[in-house]
Amino acid sequence: MSAVAASPAVGRGTGRRTSSSLIYFSSISTNTHRFVEKLTMDAARLPIYTRDDTLEALEPYVLVLPTYGGDSGHGAVPKQVIKFLNIPGNRELIRGVIGAGNTNFGESYCLAGDIISVKCKVPHLYRFELMGTSEDVDRVHEGLEEFWTRLSQQQTPQ
Amino acid sequence: MTPEKLKLASHVTAINWNRIEDEKDVEVWNRLVNNFWLPEKVPLSNDIQSWATLSAEEQLLTMRVFTGLTLLDTLQGTVGAVSLIPDAITPHEEAVYTNIAFMESVHAKSYSSIFSTLCSTKEIDEAFRWSVENVNLQKKAQIIEGYYYGDDPLKRKIASTLLESFLFYSGFYLPMYWSSRAKLTNTADLIRLIIRDEAVHGYYIGYKYQKGLEGLSEARRQELKDYTFELLFELYENEVQYTHDLYDSVGLAEDVKKFLHYNANKALMNLGYEAMFPAAVTDVNPAILSALSPNADENHDFFSGSGSSYVIGKAVNTEDDDWDF
């Protein structure tokens, strides 16, 4: 996994800039982190603690985030992700979301992905459980490549 | 196994929730407290008519499955979660285990609420007698119990996670099956609350296991990993027999086994290991998966869809104070 290029803090509440097309949040349990590692794609991890400066996205990206819980939506989206998306520039560049979770949480399974999908009007591309199986990794790897190809074809050449 | 006197935490100091060593403790404590529920809140009596539509055989199966689950919850509440307390690294971890222990006792009691609503005293006593006499059920309790009384804190966490994340599921299958056929739907609602709790328990105990691995030698880590898979195989073989014993009469054993494989993989992931069972044997019946979680079906996989259109998730209330937009 390549690291994010460090740069001085820019703007309100932002820290490092990243050109990664995959940005993710993972708590100290590292389930989502392990999934992203298995993708072997360039990816940037959001800071674990809300007090830390968040990232500034420079290129279109897909967001991967877990839903940890099952309390009918309350607090489903991690605070660190909210902090990141509260920055308009980050919101403009999001193209899709991938949710991690556990079907044991019933209707709340990958709820954070649903919430962001609605708020940012982007597709909830895929859902996987815990750190994902090898099948999940293959499907997301292929799916993301196709997704980016399709998006680049849709863009009108200048 | 000779029952020994359960070890208690050797030293206790006043717990200070304003000085936190592991934020997971607070996060999980809050989650468990927010998820708190009691069986009295679920309108089980609405299932009385539905219960009457089950055949005598189906009723017997359901009662046996629920006494089996009661035994596991009792074991986890009375011994399992409590046995983890002396090994806790932080005082807040100890507090979380007391919460887990109590909720397991709530789970165990909730099956009795289901029984008293739907069954006669004679039937209930018969089912409990069965739970004492069933070889495979007793065996799985004994295997786990052996580690709870044993002297290896990490093996105790492995056994506990496998109980929370794997052993319950031969039982949980049945209420999901009834729910998928629009039967015993209130009972299924109650079981879903238990399933939700067990996910947090398995996640947390598995997380603490992984914390415990930090700083250990490679040899010791390998020993524990080998042990995890050995124990899983031992439990799995027993679960397969238990599953056939219970479900052969209604022709569901093969379907249940897929659910076992699927959950065994999740138990391994909770312990930080890769899934073991391949996709070919974890293809859980979509009706069961959707009874568990309405968002879990393939329609929610954009990558496998036709591509041009996509579904945006359903609107959910959010904490708007946190969002600027």
| Cβ–Cβ below 8 Å for B317 and A73 | yes
What is the reported pLDDT for A27? 93
Interface residue B19 vs chain A (CB under 8 A) = no
Number of domains into which chain A is organized? 1
**Residue A147: inside a domain:** yes
SS3 B220: helix
Residue A8 belongs to some domain of the structure:
no
Considering only CB atoms, A109 lies closest to which of B198, B295, B316, namely B295
B34/B321: higher pLDDT: B34
CB–CB of A68 and B324 under 8 A? no
B23-293 has which CATH code?
1.10.620.20
Helices (H), chain B: 23-34, 48-52, 56-75, 81-83, 91-118, 121-133, 135-148, 153-162, 169-180, 185-213, 218-247, 253-270, 286-292
**Residue A148, domain extent:** 14-152
The answer to whether B21 is annotated as binding is no
The answer to the question of residue A157 being in a domain is: no
Mean pLDDT on B21-25: 95
User: pLDDT in tens for each of the 158 residues of chain A?
Assistant: 444 444 443 345 567 999 999 999 999 999 999 999 999 999 999 999 989 999 999 999 999 999 976 566 678 899 999 999 999 999 999 999 999 999 999 989 999 999 999 999 999 999 999 999 999 999 999 999 999 999 988 875 54
Residue A77: DSSP 8-state: S
Distance CA A49, CA A58 (A): 22
**Cα–Cα distance measured from residue B317 to residue A75, given in angstroms and rounded to the nearest whole number:** 10
Work out the pLDDT band at B300, boundaries 50, 70, 90: low
B111 is catalytic: yes
Mutation pick from B214, B312, B320 vs chain A, by most beta carbons of A within 10 Å, is: B312
Give me the CATH number covering residue A90.
3.40.50.360
B18 CB burial (10 A radius; 0-12, 13-18, 19+): exposed
Does residue A158 belong to any structural domain of this protein? no
**Contact by Cβ (8 Å): B90, B16:** no
Question: Measured between CA atoms, how close is A32 to chain B, in angstroms?
Answer: 11
* pLDDT value, residue A60: 97
Domains of chain B: which residue ranges? 23-293
Q: How far apart are CA A124 and CA A96, in angstroms?
A: 6
